[in-house]
Amino acid sequence: MYGTYFLLVFFSILVAYAGIEETMKLFAYADLQLRYAIVQVQMKWMGWKLKRTLVKDTRDFKKFLAEYKNEYEDMP
């Protein structure tokens, strides 16, 4: 209950100090910063997944190259 009153008073003070338009810009900025932080975390997870996949594929490719060289070494 006190949290609701606190938010209401806080919003009222912001409106009284900066006006409605500037207060809405402030909330829009906070929203964009939060969304940007979420995107950065998702990009970090995607980078980790890509790195794991590339390491696995590199091992498979090295194995393929070894087999390929051995297979075609004996051909005239």
Model confidence band, residue 53 (pLDDT cutoffs 50, 70, 90): confident
Please give the Cα distance from 63 to 56 (Å, whole number): 11
Domains of the chain: total: 1
Query: What range does the domain containing 24 cover?
Result: 2-73
Q: Which positions ≥6 away from 11 have C-beta within 8 Å? A: 23
Output the pLDDT for position 74: 63
Higher pLDDT, 63 or 21: 21
Residues 6+ apart with CB under 8 A from 23: 11, 14, 15
Mean pLDDT of 33-45: 98
Q: What pTM did the predictor assign?
A: 0.61
Tokens of 4: 């609701």
Angle at 38 between CA 35 and CA 43, to 5 degrees: 125
Alpha helices in the chain (DSSP H): 2-18, 20-73
